[in-house]
Amino acid sequence: MNMKRILNLRIGIVLFGLLTILILFTAVSNSFAQEVAVGSATATVLTALAIASSSNIAFGNVYQGIATTIDNTDAAAGIFKVTGQVDAGISLYFQLPEYLSLSDGSSRMTVSFNSTDCSVDTTGADSPTTMNGTKGWLDGDPRSFPGAAQIGSAGTSIYLGGKVTPSLYQAAGSYSGDIILTVSYNGT
């Protein structure tokens, strides 16, 4: 008899607990529902600004006394892509190195960029080999971008070529240098 009473008590406690949880859950749900229903919110979606580089300028391995040139419409050209608010005006600015150096600075190799080493593709195609004058700004100066550059509907791609000129006595080793592209909106 005692065992049966204890069992009934336990069942009662469990049922009470479940009921309490159910009531609390309902109350919490209602409070959230009320808060959401009463409030009003306006959402402003802000676009971001992004830059990516999908391909580096690939001079690769070079040889003493033999210059290597990469055209901006070559498959080995460097590719940057800018995305953001479509049709927004952007200002682009390259900082280009004059040398590539060994990591310990003991030797340098000339790298140069001439006034036709850059193209701006407003179709955002990321395909330097298919670039032509109808897609934007072909064979321009990487130190002087067009003042009317805009972000195209699929982004704007920038293709960069250049030339490295190892000397006849260039020391063997791994040479590196930095190229910096700065982008800013000019309408804010």
Using CB under 8 A as the binding rule, the residues of this chain from 60 to 99 that contact another protein are 60-64, 78-81, 83-85, 87-89, 91, 93
**7 or 52: whose CB is closer to another protein?**
52
Q: Is 57 in the site for another protein (CB under 8 A)?
A: yes
Positive or negative torsion for Cα 57, 156, 74, 96 = negative
Q: How far apart are CA 7 and CA 14, in angstroms?
A: 11
Judged by CB under 8 A, the number of residues near another protein is 73
Q: Is 159 in the site for another protein (CB under 8 A)?
A: no
Of 27-56, which residues contact another protein (CB under 8 A)? 32, 35-36, 38-56
Of 1-30, which residues contact another protein (CB under 8 A)? none
Q: How far apart are CA 45 and CA 164, in angstroms?
A: 45
Q: Is 181 in the site for another protein (CB under 8 A)?
A: yes
Q: Which residues contact 42 (CB under 8 A, 6 or more apart)?
A: none
Q: How far apart are CA 152 and CA 155, in angstroms?
A: 5
**3 or 43: whose CB is closer to another protein?**
43
Q: Is 103 in the site for another protein (CB under 8 A)?
A: yes
Piece of the chain touching another protein by CB under 8 A; list 2-10, 11-19, 114-122, 178-186 = 178-186
**91 or 115: whose CB is closer to another protein?**
91
Q: Burial level of 19, CB count in 10 A (0-12/13-18/19+)?
A: exposed
Q: How far apart are CA 123 and CA 159, in angstroms?
A: 12
Taking the complex as a whole, the smallest distance from the CB of residue 21 to another protein amounts, in Å, to: 19
Question: What are φ and ψ of residue 169, in 5° steps?
Answer: -115, 25
Q: Is 104 in the site for another protein (CB under 8 A)?
A: no
